[in-house]
Structure 1
Amino acid sequence: MRWLSKVMVMLGLLLAGLAQAAPQQGKDYTLLAKPMPVAVPGKIEVIEFYWYGCPHCNAIEPFVEAWSAKLPKDVNFRRIHINWEDSSRQGHVKLFLTLQAMGLDTKLQPAVFKAIFQDKLELRREEVLYSWLKTQGVDVEKFKGIYNGFSMGVMQTNLAKLTRDYGVDGVPRFIVNGRYVARGIEGAGEESVLKNVDALIAMERSKSGKAK
Protein backbone atom coordinates (compact mmCIF):
# COMPACT_ATOMS: atom_id res chain seq x y z
CA MET A 1 0.00 0.00 0.00
CA ARG A 2 3.01 2.26 0.49
CA TRP A 3 3.54 2.46 -3.28
CA LEU A 4 -0.09 3.48 -3.72
CA SER A 5 0.34 6.31 -1.23
CA LYS A 6 3.38 7.53 -3.13
CA VAL A 7 1.46 7.43 -6.42
CA MET A 8 -1.40 9.39 -4.88
CA VAL A 9 1.01 12.01 -3.55
CA MET A 10 2.70 12.35 -6.93
CA LEU A 11 -0.67 12.58 -8.68
CA GLY A 12 -1.76 15.29 -6.25
CA LEU A 13 1.41 17.28 -6.92
CA LEU A 14 0.94 16.89 -10.65
CA LEU A 15 -2.67 18.08 -10.52
CA ALA A 16 -1.69 21.00 -8.32
CA GLY A 17 1.00 21.95 -10.80
CA LEU A 18 -1.43 21.81 -13.69
CA ALA A 19 -3.95 23.91 -11.82
CA GLN A 20 -1.28 26.46 -11.01
CA ALA A 21 -0.19 26.57 -14.66
CA ALA A 22 -3.71 27.24 -15.96
CA PRO A 23 -3.90 30.72 -17.52
CA GLN A 24 -5.70 33.30 -15.43
CA GLN A 25 -8.09 35.88 -16.82
CA GLY A 26 -6.86 39.41 -16.26
CA LYS A 27 -3.29 38.23 -15.71
CA ASP A 28 -2.45 35.95 -18.63
CA TYR A 29 -5.28 36.91 -20.95
CA THR A 30 -8.35 39.07 -21.42
CA LEU A 31 -11.58 38.28 -23.26
CA LEU A 32 -12.70 39.79 -26.53
CA ALA A 33 -15.80 41.94 -26.10
CA LYS A 34 -17.49 39.85 -28.80
CA PRO A 35 -16.37 36.28 -29.63
CA MET A 36 -15.35 35.81 -33.27
CA PRO A 37 -15.79 32.71 -35.46
CA VAL A 38 -12.73 30.64 -36.32
CA ALA A 39 -11.66 30.10 -39.92
CA VAL A 40 -11.34 26.30 -39.67
CA PRO A 41 -13.97 24.62 -37.46
CA GLY A 42 -12.55 21.84 -35.32
CA LYS A 43 -9.11 23.44 -35.03
CA ILE A 44 -7.75 25.72 -32.33
CA GLU A 45 -7.15 29.06 -33.99
CA VAL A 46 -4.36 31.51 -33.15
CA ILE A 47 -4.24 34.89 -34.90
CA GLU A 48 -1.32 37.27 -34.69
CA PHE A 49 -2.23 40.84 -35.59
CA TYR A 50 0.82 42.90 -36.47
CA TRP A 51 2.12 45.92 -38.41
CA TYR A 52 5.19 45.88 -40.64
CA GLY A 53 6.41 49.13 -39.10
CA CYS A 54 6.07 48.00 -35.48
CA PRO A 55 9.42 47.51 -33.68
CA HIS A 56 7.84 45.10 -31.19
CA CYS A 57 6.43 43.01 -34.05
CA ASN A 58 9.89 42.98 -35.58
CA ALA A 59 11.47 41.92 -32.28
CA ILE A 60 9.09 39.02 -31.78
CA GLU A 61 9.25 37.88 -35.44
CA PRO A 62 12.10 35.30 -35.05
CA PHE A 63 10.39 33.78 -32.02
CA VAL A 64 7.06 33.52 -33.85
CA GLU A 65 8.76 31.90 -36.84
CA ALA A 66 10.38 29.25 -34.62
CA TRP A 67 7.21 28.76 -32.55
CA SER A 68 4.86 28.42 -35.51
CA ALA A 69 7.11 25.84 -37.19
CA LYS A 70 6.48 23.46 -34.28
CA LEU A 71 2.72 23.87 -33.88
CA PRO A 72 0.69 20.64 -33.70
CA LYS A 73 -1.79 19.78 -36.44
CA ASP A 74 -4.83 20.75 -34.39
CA VAL A 75 -3.75 24.43 -34.37
CA ASN A 76 -4.51 26.83 -37.24
CA PHE A 77 -2.17 29.84 -37.11
CA ARG A 78 -3.04 32.99 -39.05
CA ARG A 79 -1.09 36.25 -39.36
CA ILE A 80 -3.03 39.40 -40.19
CA HIS A 81 -1.72 42.92 -40.74
CA ILE A 82 -3.80 45.59 -39.02
CA ASN A 83 -5.53 48.43 -40.81
CA TRP A 84 -6.23 51.36 -38.51
CA GLU A 85 -7.15 53.41 -41.58
CA ASP A 86 -4.53 56.10 -40.97
CA SER A 87 -2.79 57.29 -44.11
CA SER A 88 0.75 56.68 -42.81
CA ARG A 89 0.23 52.90 -42.71
CA GLN A 90 -1.65 52.35 -45.97
CA GLY A 91 1.53 51.55 -47.91
CA HIS A 92 2.22 48.69 -45.52
CA VAL A 93 -1.44 47.62 -45.58
CA LYS A 94 -1.42 47.47 -49.39
CA LEU A 95 1.88 45.58 -49.36
CA PHE A 96 0.42 42.94 -47.04
CA LEU A 97 -2.84 42.62 -48.97
CA THR A 98 -1.02 42.26 -52.29
CA LEU A 99 1.42 39.65 -50.95
CA GLN A 100 -1.52 37.81 -49.38
CA ALA A 101 -3.42 37.81 -52.68
CA MET A 102 -0.31 36.38 -54.36
CA GLY A 103 0.14 33.76 -51.63
CA LEU A 104 3.49 35.28 -50.62
CA ASP A 105 2.70 36.98 -47.30
CA THR A 106 3.94 34.13 -45.09
CA LYS A 107 6.99 33.39 -47.22
CA LEU A 108 8.16 37.01 -47.38
CA GLN A 109 7.19 38.10 -43.86
CA PRO A 110 10.74 37.84 -42.41
CA ALA A 111 12.18 39.54 -45.50
CA VAL A 112 9.78 42.48 -45.18
CA PHE A 113 10.78 43.08 -41.56
CA LYS A 114 14.46 42.79 -42.49
CA ALA A 115 14.05 45.30 -45.30
CA ILE A 116 12.35 47.82 -43.03
CA PHE A 117 14.33 47.45 -39.81
CA GLN A 118 17.78 46.26 -40.89
CA ASP A 119 18.14 47.60 -44.40
CA LYS A 120 16.17 50.79 -43.59
CA LEU A 121 14.15 50.64 -46.82
CA GLU A 122 11.00 52.75 -47.05
CA LEU A 123 8.70 50.18 -48.62
CA ARG A 124 5.79 52.63 -48.57
CA ARG A 125 7.50 54.40 -51.49
CA GLU A 126 6.53 52.54 -54.64
CA GLU A 127 9.84 52.97 -56.46
CA VAL A 128 11.69 51.52 -53.45
CA LEU A 129 9.13 48.75 -53.03
CA TYR A 130 9.21 47.62 -56.67
CA SER A 131 13.00 47.57 -56.72
CA TRP A 132 13.08 45.50 -53.54
CA LEU A 133 10.44 43.07 -54.84
CA LYS A 134 12.67 42.29 -57.82
CA THR A 135 15.42 41.18 -55.43
CA GLN A 136 12.91 38.79 -53.84
CA GLY A 137 12.00 37.18 -57.14
CA VAL A 138 8.45 38.59 -57.14
CA ASP A 139 6.58 39.14 -60.41
CA VAL A 140 6.50 42.93 -60.14
CA GLU A 141 3.99 43.49 -62.95
CA LYS A 142 1.54 41.07 -61.36
CA PHE A 143 2.17 42.75 -58.00
CA LYS A 144 1.44 46.20 -59.47
CA GLY A 145 -1.80 44.94 -60.97
CA ILE A 146 -3.12 43.99 -57.53
CA TYR A 147 -1.45 46.79 -55.55
CA ASN A 148 -2.97 49.49 -57.76
CA GLY A 149 -6.04 47.52 -58.81
CA PHE A 150 -9.69 48.42 -58.41
CA SER A 151 -10.29 45.76 -55.75
CA MET A 152 -7.57 47.11 -53.43
CA GLY A 153 -9.93 49.65 -51.86
CA VAL A 154 -12.41 46.91 -51.01
CA MET A 155 -9.67 44.76 -49.48
CA GLN A 156 -8.46 47.70 -47.38
CA THR A 157 -12.01 48.33 -46.14
CA ASN A 158 -12.49 44.66 -45.25
CA LEU A 159 -9.19 44.57 -43.37
CA ALA A 160 -10.12 47.72 -41.44
CA LYS A 161 -13.42 46.09 -40.43
CA LEU A 162 -11.61 42.93 -39.32
CA THR A 163 -9.22 45.03 -37.23
CA ARG A 164 -12.18 46.78 -35.56
CA ASP A 165 -14.15 43.57 -35.04
CA TYR A 166 -11.25 42.05 -33.11
CA GLY A 167 -10.77 45.28 -31.14
CA VAL A 168 -7.08 45.50 -32.03
CA ASP A 169 -5.69 48.71 -30.56
CA GLY A 170 -2.07 47.60 -30.22
CA VAL A 171 0.33 45.12 -31.78
CA PRO A 172 1.57 42.46 -31.72
CA ARG A 173 -1.75 41.00 -30.57
CA PHE A 174 -2.37 37.25 -30.26
CA ILE A 175 -5.94 35.97 -30.14
CA VAL A 176 -6.81 32.34 -29.40
CA ASN A 177 -10.00 30.74 -30.68
CA GLY A 178 -11.71 34.04 -31.31
CA ARG A 179 -12.10 34.66 -27.57
CA TYR A 180 -8.84 35.05 -25.65
CA VAL A 181 -6.36 37.90 -26.01
CA ALA A 182 -3.01 36.64 -24.74
CA ARG A 183 -0.98 39.01 -22.61
CA GLY A 184 2.79 39.19 -22.28
CA ILE A 185 4.66 38.58 -19.06
CA GLU A 186 5.81 41.93 -17.69
CA GLY A 187 9.54 42.42 -17.98
CA ALA A 188 10.10 39.10 -19.76
CA GLY A 189 10.38 40.39 -23.35
CA GLU A 190 7.98 40.47 -26.27
CA GLU A 191 8.22 36.75 -26.89
CA SER A 192 6.87 35.87 -23.43
CA VAL A 193 3.33 36.26 -24.78
CA LEU A 194 3.84 33.00 -26.70
CA LYS A 195 3.99 31.11 -23.39
CA ASN A 196 0.50 32.34 -22.59
CA VAL A 197 -0.63 31.48 -26.11
CA ASP A 198 0.59 27.92 -25.55
CA ALA A 199 -1.24 27.78 -22.22
CA LEU A 200 -4.46 28.99 -23.85
CA ILE A 201 -4.09 26.40 -26.61
CA ALA A 202 -3.69 23.70 -23.96
CA MET A 203 -6.74 25.03 -22.10
CA GLU A 204 -8.87 24.94 -25.27
CA ARG A 205 -7.59 21.48 -26.13
CA SER A 206 -8.52 20.17 -22.68
CA LYS A 207 -12.03 21.59 -23.06
CA SER A 208 -12.52 19.66 -26.28
CA GLY A 209 -11.16 16.51 -24.71
CA LYS A 210 -8.77 15.97 -27.61
CA ALA A 211 -5.21 14.79 -27.19
CA LYS A 212 -2.39 16.72 -28.83
Structure 2
Amino acid sequence: MKNLLIIFVMLFSQMSLQVSAQAITEGKEYQVIRAQGDKEDLVQVYEFFSYACGHCYEFQPLIESWAESPPKGVQFNQMPAIFNERMIPLAKLFFSLEEMQLLDSVHHQVYEAIHEKRLNLLTEKKILNWAKKNESIKFNQFEKVYQSFSVDSKIKKAMQLTRSYRIPGTPYVTVKGKYITGPSMVLRPEGGGVDVVRFVATLNTLIEKD
Protein backbone atom coordinates (compact mmCIF):
# COMPACT_ATOMS: atom_id res chain seq x y z
CA MET A 1 0.00 0.00 0.00
CA LYS A 2 2.81 2.39 0.83
CA ASN A 3 4.43 1.71 -2.54
CA LEU A 4 1.18 2.52 -4.31
CA LEU A 5 0.93 5.81 -2.43
CA ILE A 6 4.50 6.75 -3.36
CA ILE A 7 3.83 5.98 -7.03
CA PHE A 8 0.66 8.03 -6.93
CA VAL A 9 2.42 11.08 -5.49
CA MET A 10 5.28 10.85 -7.99
CA LEU A 11 2.99 10.56 -10.99
CA PHE A 12 0.32 13.05 -9.96
CA SER A 13 2.21 15.93 -11.59
CA GLN A 14 1.95 14.13 -14.95
CA MET A 15 -1.83 13.85 -14.80
CA SER A 16 -2.65 16.94 -16.87
CA LEU A 17 -0.36 15.71 -19.65
CA GLN A 18 -2.09 12.35 -19.68
CA VAL A 19 -5.53 13.99 -19.88
CA SER A 20 -4.56 16.13 -22.86
CA ALA A 21 -2.80 13.27 -24.61
CA GLN A 22 -5.52 10.65 -24.32
CA ALA A 23 -9.31 11.00 -24.23
CA ILE A 24 -11.23 8.71 -21.93
CA THR A 25 -13.75 6.38 -23.55
CA GLU A 26 -17.24 5.43 -22.38
CA GLY A 27 -17.41 1.69 -21.87
CA LYS A 28 -13.71 1.48 -21.13
CA GLU A 29 -12.53 3.88 -18.41
CA TYR A 30 -16.06 4.78 -17.31
CA GLN A 31 -19.76 4.05 -17.76
CA VAL A 32 -22.83 6.28 -17.79
CA ILE A 33 -25.16 5.05 -15.05
CA ARG A 34 -27.94 7.63 -15.44
CA ALA A 35 -28.88 9.98 -18.27
CA GLN A 36 -29.43 12.85 -15.83
CA GLY A 37 -27.03 13.36 -12.96
CA ASP A 38 -27.72 14.88 -9.57
CA LYS A 39 -28.27 18.63 -9.50
CA GLU A 40 -26.28 19.93 -6.54
CA ASP A 41 -24.15 22.98 -5.81
CA LEU A 42 -21.07 20.82 -5.29
CA VAL A 43 -19.98 17.95 -7.52
CA GLN A 44 -20.56 14.81 -5.46
CA VAL A 45 -17.95 12.08 -5.74
CA TYR A 46 -18.72 8.82 -3.92
CA GLU A 47 -16.33 5.98 -3.22
CA PHE A 48 -18.42 2.83 -2.82
CA PHE A 49 -16.51 0.31 -0.74
CA SER A 50 -16.76 -2.54 1.72
CA TYR A 51 -14.45 -3.13 4.66
CA ALA A 52 -14.54 -6.83 3.74
CA CYS A 53 -13.21 -6.12 0.22
CA GLY A 54 -9.49 -6.70 -0.24
CA HIS A 55 -9.37 -4.55 -3.37
CA CYS A 56 -10.95 -1.69 -1.40
CA TYR A 57 -8.18 -2.00 1.19
CA GLU A 58 -5.56 -1.75 -1.57
CA PHE A 59 -7.44 1.17 -3.17
CA GLN A 60 -7.46 3.37 -0.05
CA PRO A 61 -4.05 5.06 -0.45
CA LEU A 62 -4.88 6.11 -4.01
CA ILE A 63 -8.38 7.50 -3.45
CA GLU A 64 -7.53 9.10 -0.11
CA SER A 65 -4.48 10.81 -1.59
CA TRP A 66 -6.67 12.24 -4.35
CA ALA A 67 -9.31 13.28 -1.80
CA GLU A 68 -6.79 15.30 0.21
CA SER A 69 -6.85 18.00 -2.49
CA PRO A 70 -9.77 17.39 -4.86
CA PRO A 71 -10.64 19.84 -7.64
CA LYS A 72 -12.45 23.00 -6.57
CA GLY A 73 -16.18 22.58 -6.06
CA VAL A 74 -15.97 18.84 -5.35
CA GLN A 75 -17.22 17.03 -2.26
CA PHE A 76 -15.75 13.57 -1.66
CA ASN A 77 -17.82 11.00 0.23
CA GLN A 78 -17.11 7.45 1.33
CA MET A 79 -20.18 5.23 1.10
CA PRO A 80 -20.47 1.57 2.10
CA ALA A 81 -22.04 -0.41 -0.72
CA ILE A 82 -24.91 -2.59 0.54
CA PHE A 83 -25.99 -5.39 -1.79
CA ASN A 84 -27.61 -7.60 0.85
CA GLU A 85 -28.37 -7.79 4.57
CA ARG A 86 -25.03 -9.47 5.33
CA MET A 87 -23.27 -6.21 4.46
CA ILE A 88 -25.25 -4.11 6.93
CA PRO A 89 -23.20 -4.77 10.12
CA LEU A 90 -19.94 -3.46 8.63
CA ALA A 91 -21.75 -0.54 7.02
CA LYS A 92 -23.17 0.33 10.45
CA LEU A 93 -19.63 0.19 11.83
CA PHE A 94 -18.50 2.78 9.29
CA PHE A 95 -21.43 5.11 9.96
CA SER A 96 -20.97 4.75 13.72
CA LEU A 97 -17.33 5.79 13.43
CA GLU A 98 -18.41 8.67 11.21
CA GLU A 99 -21.00 9.80 13.78
CA MET A 100 -18.37 9.66 16.53
CA GLN A 101 -15.80 11.47 14.36
CA LEU A 102 -13.42 8.53 14.64
CA LEU A 103 -12.82 7.78 10.97
CA ASP A 104 -9.42 9.47 10.93
CA SER A 105 -8.16 7.24 13.74
CA VAL A 106 -10.13 4.00 13.36
CA HIS A 107 -11.12 3.64 9.68
CA HIS A 108 -7.81 2.01 8.73
CA GLN A 109 -7.82 -0.06 11.91
CA VAL A 110 -10.95 -1.80 10.64
CA TYR A 111 -9.32 -2.64 7.31
CA GLU A 112 -6.19 -3.87 9.07
CA ALA A 113 -8.17 -5.97 11.53
CA ILE A 114 -9.89 -7.77 8.66
CA HIS A 115 -7.13 -8.02 6.06
CA GLU A 116 -3.94 -8.09 8.13
CA LYS A 117 -5.05 -9.69 11.40
CA ARG A 118 -7.66 -11.85 9.63
CA LEU A 119 -10.40 -11.08 12.15
CA ASN A 120 -14.00 -11.93 11.36
CA LEU A 121 -16.05 -8.74 11.75
CA LEU A 122 -19.02 -9.75 9.64
CA THR A 123 -21.64 -9.83 12.39
CA GLU A 124 -22.92 -7.28 14.87
CA LYS A 125 -21.77 -9.40 17.81
CA LYS A 126 -18.21 -9.70 16.50
CA ILE A 127 -18.07 -5.97 15.71
CA LEU A 128 -19.23 -5.03 19.21
CA ASN A 129 -16.68 -7.40 20.77
CA TRP A 130 -13.93 -5.84 18.65
CA ALA A 131 -15.01 -2.30 19.48
CA LYS A 132 -15.10 -3.10 23.19
CA LYS A 133 -11.42 -4.05 23.07
CA ASN A 134 -10.37 -1.06 20.96
CA GLU A 135 -8.78 1.66 23.07
CA SER A 136 -9.65 4.32 20.49
CA ILE A 137 -13.38 3.72 20.94
CA LYS A 138 -15.58 4.67 23.90
CA PHE A 139 -17.60 1.50 23.86
CA ASN A 140 -20.70 2.65 25.76
CA GLN A 141 -21.12 5.54 23.34
CA PHE A 142 -20.33 3.35 20.33
CA GLU A 143 -22.93 0.75 21.28
CA LYS A 144 -25.65 3.42 21.47
CA VAL A 145 -24.60 5.06 18.21
CA TYR A 146 -24.44 1.69 16.43
CA GLN A 147 -28.11 1.10 17.25
CA SER A 148 -29.20 4.72 16.66
CA PHE A 149 -31.85 6.10 14.34
CA SER A 150 -29.20 8.27 12.68
CA VAL A 151 -27.10 5.26 11.67
CA ASP A 152 -30.18 3.36 10.50
CA SER A 153 -31.12 6.35 8.32
CA LYS A 154 -27.66 6.35 6.76
CA ILE A 155 -27.99 2.63 6.08
CA LYS A 156 -31.19 3.27 4.15
CA LYS A 157 -29.47 5.99 2.13
CA ALA A 158 -26.53 3.69 1.37
CA MET A 159 -28.88 0.97 0.18
CA GLN A 160 -30.79 3.44 -1.98
CA LEU A 161 -27.63 4.87 -3.57
CA THR A 162 -26.20 1.40 -4.19
CA ARG A 163 -29.35 0.55 -6.13
CA SER A 164 -29.96 3.84 -7.94
CA TYR A 165 -26.31 4.22 -8.99
CA ARG A 166 -26.27 0.57 -10.10
CA ILE A 167 -23.05 -0.19 -8.24
CA PRO A 168 -21.74 -3.50 -9.68
CA GLY A 169 -19.21 -4.28 -6.95
CA THR A 170 -16.45 -2.63 -4.93
CA PRO A 171 -14.48 -0.45 -5.12
CA TYR A 172 -16.18 1.92 -7.56
CA VAL A 173 -16.37 5.71 -7.72
CA THR A 174 -19.36 7.70 -8.96
CA VAL A 175 -19.32 11.30 -10.17
CA LYS A 176 -22.40 13.56 -10.21
CA GLY A 177 -24.63 10.52 -9.86
CA LYS A 178 -24.13 10.07 -13.60
CA TYR A 179 -20.74 8.47 -14.21
CA ILE A 180 -18.99 5.51 -12.67
CA THR A 181 -15.36 4.43 -12.80
CA GLY A 182 -13.08 2.28 -10.71
CA PRO A 183 -9.60 0.79 -10.51
CA SER A 184 -10.75 -2.35 -12.34
CA MET A 185 -11.70 -0.18 -15.33
CA VAL A 186 -8.33 1.58 -15.56
CA LEU A 187 -5.71 -1.16 -15.50
CA ARG A 188 -2.19 -1.02 -16.86
CA PRO A 189 -2.02 -2.60 -20.34
CA GLU A 190 1.04 -4.58 -19.33
CA GLY A 191 -0.60 -5.84 -16.14
CA GLY A 192 0.35 -5.13 -12.57
CA GLY A 193 -2.79 -3.44 -11.33
CA VAL A 194 -4.40 -0.04 -11.62
CA ASP A 195 -2.87 2.67 -13.79
CA VAL A 196 -2.72 5.32 -11.06
CA VAL A 197 -2.22 8.37 -13.24
CA ARG A 198 -4.84 7.22 -15.74
CA PHE A 199 -7.38 6.60 -12.99
CA VAL A 200 -6.90 10.07 -11.50
CA ALA A 201 -7.05 11.61 -14.96
CA THR A 202 -10.31 9.75 -15.63
CA LEU A 203 -11.81 10.88 -12.34
CA ASN A 204 -10.89 14.52 -12.87
CA THR A 205 -12.13 14.45 -16.46
CA LEU A 206 -15.52 13.10 -15.35
CA ILE A 207 -15.79 15.91 -12.81
CA GLU A 208 -15.50 18.42 -15.66
CA LYS A 209 -17.77 16.47 -18.00
CA ASP A 210 -21.41 17.57 -18.53
Regarding TM over 0.5, the answer is yes
1:201 paired to 2:210: no
Alignment RMSD (CA, Å): 3.0
Counterpart mapping for 1:59-208 below 5 A: 59-84=58-83, 86-105=84-103, 107-126=105-124, 128-133=126-131, 134-150=133-149, 152-183=151-182, 184-187=185-188, 188=191, 191-192=194-195, 195-202=198-205, 204-205=207-208
Q: Which residue of the partner structure matches residue 4 of structure 1? A: none
Asked if 1 retains the 8 angstrom alpha-carbon contact of 2:49 and 2:78, the reply is yes
Query: Which AA in structure 2 matches 1:47?
Result: Y
Pick which of 101-110 and 172-181 moved more: 101-110
State the identity as a percent. Answer: 26
Counterpart mapping for 1:41-56 below 5 A: 41=41, 43-56=42-55
Distance 1:51 1:90 in 2: 10
Q: Which residue of the partner structure matches residue 37 of structure 1? A: 38
Structure 2: any 5+ residue segments left out of the alignment? Answer: 1-16
Distance 1:17 1:123 in 2: 40
Distance 1:17 1:87 in 2: 41
Query: 1:175 is paired with a residue of what secondary structure?
Result: strand
Shift of 1:81: 0.4
TM-score after normalising by structure 2: 0.74
Q: Which residue of the partner structure matches residue 57 of structure 1? A: 56
Query: Which AA in structure 1 matches 2:127?
Result: L
Distance 2:197 2:94 in 1: 23
Asked if 2 retains the 8 angstrom alpha-carbon contact of 1:23 and 1:200, the reply is no
Asked if 1 retains the 8 angstrom alpha-carbon contact of 2:19 and 2:201, the reply is no
Structure 1: any 5+ residue segments left out of the alignment? Answer: 1-15
Distance 2:106 2:197 in 1: 22
Asked if 1 retains the 8 angstrom alpha-carbon contact of 2:18 and 2:201, the reply is no
Shift of 1:108: 2.6
Query: 1:96 is paired with a residue of what secondary structure?
Result: helix
Asked if 1 retains the 8 angstrom alpha-carbon contact of 2:67 and 2:76, the reply is yes
Between the two proteins, the alignment pairs up a number of residues equal to 189
CA shift in 2, pair 1:48/1:193, >3 Å? farther
CA shift in 2, pair 1:69/1:158, >3 Å? closer
Distance 1:194 1:37 in 2: 27
TM-score after normalising by structure 1: 0.73
Asked if 2 retains the 8 angstrom alpha-carbon contact of 1:173 and 1:181, the reply is yes
Asked if 2 retains the 8 angstrom alpha-carbon contact of 1:182 and 1:197, the reply is no
- Pick the structure with greater CA Rg: 1
Asked if 1 retains the 8 angstrom alpha-carbon contact of 2:106 and 2:136, the reply is no
Pick which of 173-182 and 153-162 moved more: 153-162
Shift of 1:52: 0.8
CA shift in 2, pair 1:161/1:18, >3 Å? closer
Asked if 2 retains the 8 angstrom alpha-carbon contact of 1:60 and 1:191, the reply is no
Asked if 2 retains the 8 angstrom alpha-carbon contact of 1:23 and 1:196, the reply is no
Asked if 2 retains the 8 angstrom alpha-carbon contact of 1:174 and 1:197, the reply is no
